[in-house]
Structure 1
């Protein structure tokens, strides 16, 4: 409409041009920033219309769909002359094919409406195949579009150029959701297409059909029925839908952001959208009332019938004073968004329609509104100037008018619940059985008293005020004993509330079995029972604990006995192992002595052999002397006998020397316990020094070591176990010879190895010192050299027991250090 000329220009849809105005019902139109118009439609979501060019762009919702004019075009094509073949309106569990023949190359349109699942599997679908069974076209989930009803309904339209020949049209369905037996959620938008059909088209129709078959651009709305639009001060377009709540549309990026939607709280059906003078966004919801929405986070506040608003809100306008005028079922209300106060206008004020659905604000500030059958409605158009409407500012006093027990009025009396009139009483005392009572109350405002409204609550039984209403009584039943406070407030017909109202305290006495004295008795009985039970349980637990303790002690004793036996066995095993190791060490050292003993025993054996040969010669010479001269001189005979005796003495001494060496070796190899006996320490030291050297030379023939002796003359004899002390000396000397031999092989050159031994008598002890000029013992090893099995020799060269046994012999066997 051109306001200046008063003329109209009509924009109509054009089936030949699908870019013209959408054919669906239009709910609302608002300006777009670029001079175009945003249009809310019934089925095709949000549209953008260019009045200058007459072009229309449709933005579909979340699921893409065909242009609605496509199906109108299909209706015109689906005639007997155009339909080549069809399998339509089938039931469950169908697998059907129909053959057809083309006598020339033909342009065809294939239309299939069926059912598919979001996992990509088609349940009800059609196809076209040749005589070999090769499918030339088949309905697929990815290519099909939403067909209305439940989300599983799918439709697909395709265009083919088929050469001359024979073909088959096919359709298959599963066991549910077939034609006429739809799932809960309803039938598709074009149920008559359920199945598959093949239509003949002309080449001149191809461009229009291709355009209509192109899926419309999707916008992302949760519902395609857009019933309200609003441009806010930030440049956003707010879109209200019939079943998809509220969405924010960025007009630059054309992106949609869905605002919080809750089926139980709203927004759900957004009839009106408005930004108030403070920049706050409000919506009316047919089901949930008035909702204030944060542009980013969603709903903030909700007002409904309980707050005094009419049900089924439709209209919302704001006047110059910042009040909202809201229309709904039965009344028109003025809502103050700053305080939440509500004033109701109904038929008493001249509202002559049962539902205030539409309204507008004139340029002069006058409000016009009408009913639910369009702007005017059956009852015509109403108008008023909100600036001329004044409120009655007087808040009505509130008083209690009656009090009933079990539906009967309570009379005053000394023993009655009421001592004075209910209007001035402050307390009511009731027996525990008197828990069914009714309060009557009244607002002392006598202009339209039937329009006075009340709200009440019984604390702490109720925490929130009741929904305002004109009812002036309230009944409570089955209340538990306790202390309550009944409060009631009232508002005059213009919605001015007396927030203080009036109140009265109600005390419902408990029965005797719930009094303080009864609880004290219960407590004493309970304490006695607990004490008796505790004593019984304590004795029971003590007896049980004693039994468990005795069993644990017996088990511990058995375990200790078992452990003791195991330790004894382990000790015996360790002792046996230790003795075997000691004996093995003895035999190892004995093996090293063998060569030295052989060298030592060779000298006395040589003496024995030499003197024996000499005695043999003397005896032969004496015999020859007697044979030649029986009268030989006695002096010569005696002289020869003297030589024989002297030689025999020497044989005896050297035999005893050999015997001593053998006995020393046997003592060294003995595994028994020796006895202390006076021993010449120097002799023992010299003997073991020589034995160790000769033993090493048999293993290392090239060994050349200077042996130094510094034996104190005053050392004398000491009571020792010879074989044990000899073993200690032999081990020390052997280690010293090994050390200098290893040093000599590593250093060579001018290195001259020596091993020395020194004896001296101290005040109460005898000190034996063995030293050498070998590499010495590293500092980090010195604290470990007496530990069993520790050795600094290469692997396989030592057992690690020699110094450990020597240490035990000296410290434990001889009290030394």
Structure 2
């Protein structure tokens, strides 16, 4: 480069390194609101105030050296796009830098643009990032930013190319992007979802002669009439002018069609199965070439027909070979259906919904996947329905959906459930089982009549004898029960009496002895008083006082023994404390998840908390309730992991949810999983000791039993609800009353 030239009227002034410029390689120019000229070079940035240059490099705080783009906001903050580092913010005194570590999609910044709302758009070689005005204000105020301040887009989000060469701000909160794949218009509304629907792409694939936009400052600009001008690398269309007002959005829904039907994941040339033996039409040959990429030899054709023997259809649709009114044997009850639309340029903008009538009752979730598989389909008639729409429309907008395309087929029953099998069963029953049953019945009736009188007499005698024995046994049991109760009372009374006698005897002996001695001392003191020896009387009075102190001491000892025995006889209670159930539930769910992950490295599952805020604290033993929650959460994660391994369904997302809810009388904790479920015939047994559905070595069968007893001890309830099948789930509900401040009495 040769530096900088300034045209002032008819005079041209040249500035280079010799005139004070930082470098002769200039990448960007910008005039600030103050009138200063900022010059971005390959060695930093220079500011020219009309008289002299001021230089800024990495030594002054820039994130890099090659300055590709410069922008300014309404507060006079200067932003620099740096090709070898990211972006730098200069407030007149210091720099703040943002790179990949701060959330920028890529550190190689090509272009900056400040839109009308002062959101900063950053174009890089690997996508687009946006720094909103909200986060810029936080930086200005010095507020700590805890989350990623950037919102980013790339080809996975709908951009045609990740190399952003140009950015132009458009009226109406819109941005125009220039890439090697043409021009992209993005209507940016942060409050709306999804943002993907806002991308509009203009290139040769979408019917517009635009590609290979050039880099460099002002390679794309908006003129005063609202027209976009863009320079390209194309020989035929070197300069492109785009009139946005003449571009009309296509509001027509896409056209959906079924592209392929597979059985048991195997691609089938349907014309080959539809035709008779020994014939091969042009349609069949074309079908083989399109679906398989080759024409099958005779041996493989025969093998294919034998493999799918019994598959019938009325015909094959033209253009796209799809069987009509397909009829399948039961062994081919897994079917895969692929579909697509006429939107070839932007297939990532299409969303689908499908429904297999007879197999499921509701439409599938809205997905972008273009195929679906149904397995283990029972015998019956089915109709597959599919529809499509452009992403971003509301589900409540019926006009956004395309017309439905349907595909009907029938699954025949297995041979043992076919009509002729049931006919055979009936014939066998009538010809063999029923006559044998009649013969056996007549023989037994005859023998029974001969023994009826003897059995009735013997039975009457046995009943009378049994009644007498039962009555006697009942009387004996009543007597024994009375004796046991009396013996238990006497034993308890004897133990208590012996304990009291043993513990209190010594203090009582001391009280008795000191009382007798004190009585003798009183007599002696009276004699000394009568004789006039008052000093000796005082000495005796002192001894009497000491004896009274000893009597008081041993009386208090006896009282302490009685109180201790009463305290010992009370029922022991646990150490309860006020507990926040939400915090405990969240902690136990996470502990359980990470515990399972430690044992099963391939284990994956979503875990969700739905906790009602501001729940009152509950008086419980925290460790007891924590063990119960972890035990049930462990069972839930085990169930979803088993289902994931058994079904091997890529669409299955394991999930465990723990929720809390305040009721009138207490708090409910629910733990729900979408695992295998518990059959209804055994769900009533799960709280029995030693009952488990896990394999040997994976459970003792005591966890739920102990949990049930513990919850009952708080006057609470532990219940289970479950369902098996395709939409299986299990929910355990723990109810804890708010006034559960007592444990059951321990006898």
Q: TM-score range by the shorter chain?
A: 0.3 to 0.5
TM-score (norm. length: structure 1): 0.39
The one of the two structures with greater contact order (alpha-carbon pairs below 8 A, sep at least 6) is: 1
The structure with more helix, counted as a fraction of residues: 2
